[in-house]
């Protein structure tokens, strides 16, 4: 089987179908087999895995996932590519290519089709839709075991950012509340065809056990409000959202958060404490 993720094979496939990468789909084809193999190895967690791939392109990652997973379901939005994938993956009998926007997929229903399999997600994500795709998965309540995705490095830095760093924001806090995040590999820009203007990184997300005592919609709304204007103190941002600055000052004191601090200095644990302190008050206030 010819490896797709090489400069020569990629060039051959692109020329055969007279294909060029579509900028509006964020297409950049990986041409470094070592990196693609590493992504696939990290993505597949057991010998009874179904891998869901988002945006297979010409099949570089799909091919390596297919060698390790029981089945690969690849969602592609570019109507030119199913024909290409039928050619490039003709030896991979366990791949199903679906011409559909992943954002429209019912993930819970999809996972329910494979009750005895570990369903994982793997992808080389276009930068413009990385966050919406990940939050679709996070909020789906589907039993996804693991997410292993490549993205623009600066976006990856935000997801995995630690407290008191410039990249730490509401996205970091919410992601780290829901998942354990680790960086798998850094991916330089020169291993793509065409070469993008930025480097990439592969992150892996594994879901934590859900805390049923936290109303996530309210919790996430509070976190986003605390980061609303980054240069403002937590008292100003939190107080504006809460709707009563003086009461907000007292609440921050109750949970030992200095009102002059900024949200970027607050840990996930501090945000949880703040939420627990306001949950009852805020729900009562909303109902009145």
117 in a structural domain: yes
Number of structural domains the chain divides into: 2
State whether 135 and 264 are in the same domain. Answer: no
Does pLDDT of 71 surpass 90? Answer: yes
Same domain, 160 and 60: yes
The predicted model gives 161-177 an average pLDDT of 94
| Whether 138 and 187 share a structural domain | yes
Q: Given this model, what pLDDT does residue 196 score? A: 86
Q: 187 and 50 share a domain?
A: yes
Quick one: 89 and 230 in the same domain? no
Residues 114 and 249 in one domain: no
Look at residue 127 in the predicted model and tell me its pLDDT: 79
Does the pTM exceed 0.85?
yes
Range 248-266 average pLDDT: 96
pLDDT of residue 28: 83
Domain assignment present for residue 101? The answer is: yes
pLDDT at 285: 59
Residues 36 and 145 in one domain: yes
Which residues constitute the domain of residue 283? 216-287
53 and 152 housed in the same domain: yes
Q: End of a domain among 152, 177, 207?
A: 207
Does 2 reside within a domain? no
- Would you say residue 255 lies in a domain? yes
pLDDT in tens, 5-53: 999 999 999 999 998 867 666 678 899 999 999 999 999 999 899 999 9
Q: Are residues 131 and 267 in the same domain?
A: no
Question: Pick from 236, 223, 228: which is nearest to 266 by CA?
Answer: 223
Q: Do 141 and 245 fall within a single domain?
A: no
CATH number at residue 128: 3.40.50.150
* Same domain flag for 203 and 236: no
Residues 195 and 234 in one domain: no
Last residue of a domain, one of 144, 178, 207: 207
């Amino acid at each position: 089987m010819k490896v797709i993720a090489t400069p020569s094979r990629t060039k051959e496939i692109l020329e055969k179908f007279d294909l060029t990468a579509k900028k509006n789909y964020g297409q950049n084809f990986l041409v470094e087999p070592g990196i693609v193999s590493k992504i696939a190895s990290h993505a597949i967690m057991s010998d009874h895995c179904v891998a869901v791939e988002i945006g297979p392109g010409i099949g570089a990652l799909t091919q390596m996932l297919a060698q390790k997973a029981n089945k690969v379901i690849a969602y592609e939005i570019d109507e030119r590519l199913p024909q290409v994938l039928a050619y490039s993956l003709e030896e991979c009998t366990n791949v199903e290519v679906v011409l559909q926007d992943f954002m429209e997929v019912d993930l819970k229903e999809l996972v329910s089709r494979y009750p005895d399999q570990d369903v994982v997600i793997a992808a080389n994500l276009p930068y413009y839709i990385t966050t919406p795709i990940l939050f679709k998965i996070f909020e789906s309540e589907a039993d996804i075991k693991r997410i292993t995705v490549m993205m623009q490095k600066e976006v990856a830095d935000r997801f995995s950012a630690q407290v008191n760093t410039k990249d730490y924001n509401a996205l970091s806090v919410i992601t780290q509340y829901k998942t354990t995040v680790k960086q798998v590999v850094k991916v330089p820009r020169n291993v793509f065809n065409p070469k993008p203007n930025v480097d990439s990184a592969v992150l892996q997300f594994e879901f934590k056990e859900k805390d049923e005592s936290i109303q996530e919609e309210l919790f996430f709304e509070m976190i986003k409000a605390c980061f609303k204007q980054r240069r403002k103190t937590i008292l100003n941002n939190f107080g504006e959202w809460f709707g009563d600055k003086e009461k907000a000052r007292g609440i921050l004191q109750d949970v030992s958060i200095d009102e002059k601090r900024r949200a970027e200095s607050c840990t996930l644990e501090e945000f949880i404490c703040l939420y627990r302190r306001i949950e009852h008050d805020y729900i009562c206030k909303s109902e009145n």
